[in-house]
Amino acid sequence: MKFAFTSLFATLAYTLVAVAQPPLQTTINFDDRYCVGSTSLQTTACSTGENGLITRGFPTFGSLPTFPAIAGSQFVEGFNSTSCGACWEVFDPNTGRSVFLTLVNTAPTGFTLCTDTLLALTGFNRTNVPNSIPVEARAIPAADCGL
């Protein structure tokens, strides 16, 4: 019983800290490669290793619970990053929409999303989407992304 209480308290504390943090000002861009569900996670920094997603039972992009809401991110530092599988909420202040993203790969800056996910979030279409869109983001518990 003590373990269950301690675990519950730790989870609650983590959730409160994640929610209490101010959002990070960052950017999003897109890449159609993140829209292909059959793509092997072997092609990403979050493939294998202790923190890899394949190691956790997710062999392809489409096997992830949030697919196609997956992303490469600057917060994934490289192969086997502790940020592999992290869940982030990205909010577009221009539309008032948000999406929960599972991190699967590296990116030079901000977040790189499946094009369809970015378009749904921002309201742009393929003919008018800019290269980089300002958004707000915050880390949230991995459970919010089904992991």
Q: Are 124 and 97 in contact (CB under 8 A)?
A: no
Strands 24-30 and 133-140: antiparallel
Query: What is the dihedral angle through the alpha carbons of 21, 23, 29, 30, rounded to the nearest 10 degrees?
Result: 50
Residue 17 domain-assigned (yes or no):
no
Count other C-beta atoms under 10 Å from residue 27's C-beta.
17
Token code pair at residue 49? 């290793």
- The residue ranking higher by pLDDT, 16 or 38, is 38
- pLDDT, residue 97, reads 98
Residue 2 domain-assigned (yes or no):
no
Residue 12 domain-assigned (yes or no):
no
Q: Domain count for the chain, please give it.
A: 1
Q: Tell me the CA distances in angstroms from 5 to 34, 140, 143, one per residue in order.
A: 39, 21, 18
Domain that holds residue 33: 23-145
Q: Are 139 and 21 in contact (CB under 8 A)?
A: yes
70-126 pLDDT, tens digit each: 999 999 999 999 999 999 999 999 999 999 999 999 999 999 999 999 999 999 999
- pLDDT, residue 22, reads 85
Residue 91 domain-assigned (yes or no):
yes
- pLDDT, residue 11, reads 45
Q: What's the chain's average pLDDT? A: 90
How many residues are recorded in the chain?
Answer: 147
Question: For residues 99 and 36, what is the distance between their CA atoms, to the nearest angstrom?
Answer: 18
* Mean pLDDT value of segment 62-67: 98
Return the CATH number at 80. Answer: 2.40.40.10
> Whole-prediction pTM value?
0.85
